[in-house]
Amino acid sequence: MADYRTIKAEPLTNAIRAIVKAGGSSDREAELVSTNLVEANLKGHDSHGVGMIPRYVQSVVNGGLAVNAHVKIVLDTGPLLTLDGLTGYGQVIGHEAMELAAARAKQNGVCLVGLSNAHHIGRIGHWAEQCIDHGLVSIHFVNVISRPIVAPWGGSDPRHGTNPFCVGIPRRGKDPIVLDLATSKIAQGKTRVAHNKGVELEPGTIIDNEGKPTVNPRYTVIPPYGAILPFGEHKGSGLALVCEILGGALSGGQVVKGPSDGKYNVINGMLSIIIDPGKLGTGENLASEVESFVAWHTGSPPGPGVDKVKIAGEPERETKKKRLAEGIPVDPTTWQEIIEAGKKFGLDQAAIERIAG
């Protein structure tokens, strides 16, 4: 990693905040966007971290990302919310949507929220963690309107996005369970990171523009495009189909209907179910039974090459602890792309470098 620069979380957040603010965002918006992206890096999900800023900046320039937009309530019946993100920064729209939903869940016991038309809402686990902070269980189905990048099981070209699925479960006095996964073998951004690093992908992860297996990440980053394969063969592909329909259509938004329009926009739809265990009358049962099962689950003797059996969300917390102490690694290509993005908003390289330390 000699070519990498390692940047501490605070100065990296400051640099990203400055770029976002230079694009016309309010202090609050710049804060939400920068902290969200850096948190993704801290948790090891560089695909959803600061490397997204060049794409966001291009979307602002193209008019596909609305600066300083706020979530619009389309329908509010108490336990049911239909929201329109108005193509605003997903970090703002997602935060506002989950705060509304959490309040309704605490009041009614449950909230079903359909969010459409939000610009890239980033790491979905972030929204599950926001609900967990309120003591709430949450389930999220997400679709992606952008350049299709994932092939359906048995297919040979891209037909939909990475379509994440996520569940968050709070635990009393202990770290929560956060299952957050793309329905593709890897997240699209991870192929971008691999391409920028100049490293190959694992065999069986992607196909090239002719539908043939390849390990070269360029086929998901630059034309001619191939596709990422679904995880778990037909199972992941089936879940992706469900996420597309629930996150895209039932939420009140759109589904993928064809090739990309060639712009840099990434529009997400998300259908979320937020549950208050206390209002359901099962809060005490959940608290005790979760601990019983986690103990049984993690008590399995580790297999060869494994230090211990973990729960969903644990690897991210371990990575965050390490990166808070040591800094966040940023490859040279990604850093240069961030510098170029800042220039589009009028920030020169010297200013960004100075802020980032």
What is the predicted pLDDT for the residue at 188?
A: 84
Strands 213-214 and 206-207: antiparallel
What is the predicted pLDDT for the residue at 258?
A: 87
Q: What pTM was estimated for this model as a whole?
A: 0.95
Sorted by sequence, the CB contacts under 8 Å of residue 105 that are 6+ apart come out as 79, 111, 131, 134, 136, 274, 275, 276, 279
Bridge partners of 80?
Answer: 112
What is the predicted pLDDT for the residue at 168?
A: 98
What SS3 class is residue 262?
Answer: coil
What is the predicted pLDDT for the residue at 264?
A: 66
Helices (H), the chain: 9-22, 27-42, 53-62, 90-108, 125-133, 188-197, 234-243, 277-280, 283-298, 314-326, 332-344, 349-356
What is the predicted pLDDT for the residue at 262?
A: 66
The predicted-structure confidence for 306-328, as pLDDT tens digits, reads as follows 999 999 999 999 999 999 999 99
Q: What share of the chain is helix, strand, coil (3-state, %, to 5)?
A: 45, 20, 35
Q: Is the peptide bond before 315 cis (omega within 30 degrees of 0)?
A: no
pLDDT < 50: residue spans in the chain = 1-2
What is the predicted pLDDT for the residue at 2?
A: 46
The predicted-structure confidence for 149-180, as pLDDT tens digits, reads as follows 999 999 999 999 999 999 999 999 999 999 99
Angle at 34 between CA 32 and CA 38, to 5 degrees: 120
What is the predicted pLDDT for the residue at 41?
A: 98
Sorted by sequence, the CB contacts under 8 Å of residue 198 that are 6+ apart come out as none
